[in-house]
Amino acid sequence: MEHSPHELVVKPSQPGGSSMPQGALLSVVAISLVLLSISIVTWGLRSPKTAADNLVDASAKGAARSGETHQPQLQTVFTSPRPQREILDPLSSAHPKLTATPIATAPSTAACLTRECLLGTWICNDSIRRRIVVRDDGTASMNVRLDFVSALLYGSEMDLELTWELDDQQLVYTAVSGTPKANTDRLFKDFGRKQIYSVLTFKPGRMLLEMTADKSRYDWRQVAP
């Protein structure tokens, strides 16, 4: 019998041979792929520990053997952290270079400053040396030794006779006379005879004055006569 070219001819299988339907073959392949994926995931979950994990485990085992319960201090392996006191208190004794020097608090000026406190001999040593003797009757005598520049105009040394008064935390000096006369007269002409000082701080034996005219300051110390 002749067959048309367009007809499909199915030959019977040979005796003793075997064949698998195409759908069953695809199912087997899909199942194999699923099993392979599961195996890969399972292997990844059971991968070897990293070096850091081993370090943690070793530290934990060592602590357990010694009876310690705290967590292993990994910081000591890599670096030494700054002490907590340094962070919280940078000005403490942990930082000797940064430790602030305590400043002594001067007694209250109003509580200590009286006329009686001002009596006696006082000196002020800066570029010009001054020595004054303050008396109870409201008079004072001052010896002045001038620096090189001032001495060119007023001489190297002069003596002044003054009156003084304490008025509401201000010390007022008024020049009455002086020697050498020519030099002191020139001084009075240039600066006047009256000087007013604010008492910034005072404690027995020491006072800090500020001239009201130019805000210059003078540190006076009391000495033995």
Mind listing the pLDDT tens digit for each residue in 37-59? 666 655 555 555 555 555 555 55
Could you list the residue range(s) of the whole structural domain that residue 180 is in?
A: 109-223
The reply to whether 91 falls in a domain is no
The answer to the question of residue 1 being in a domain is no
Helices (H), 66-180: 75-78, 84-88, 109-112, 115-118, 148-154
Where does the pLDDT of residue 130 fall: very low under 50, low under 70, confident under 90, or very high at 90 and above? very high
Total structural domains within the chain: 1
The answer to the question of residue 187 being in a domain is yes
- What pTM, to 2 d.p., does this model score? 0.52
Q: Look over the chain and give the mean of its residue pLDDT values, rounded to a whole number.
A: 73
The confidence score (pLDDT) of residue 195 equals 96
Strands (DSSP E) found in the chain: 120-125, 129-134, 139-145, 157-167, 170-179, 194-203, 206-211, 217-223
Per-residue confidence (pLDDT) for residue 220, from 0 to 100 = 97
State residue 212's pLDDT score. Answer: 94
Residue 17 lies in a domain: no
Question: Is 127 within the bounds of a domain?
Answer: yes
CATH number at residue 178: 2.40.128.280
pLDDT more than 90, % of the chain: 45
Whether residue 184 is contained in a domain is answered as: yes
**44 belongs to a structural domain:** no
The residue written with tokens 């009876």 in the block is 67
Q: CB–CB of 201/109 below 8 Å?
A: yes
Q: Could you give the C-alpha distances from 171 to 29, 139, 165, 168, 208, in angstroms and in order? A: 112, 13, 6, 8, 11
Each residue's pLDDT tens digit, 182-220: 999 999 999 999 999 999 999 989 999 999 999 999 999
Higher pLDDT, 140 or 102: 140
Residue with tokens 């040394």: 157
C-alpha to C-alpha distance for 80 and 73, rounded to whole angstroms:
11
131 touches 143 (CB < 8 A):
yes
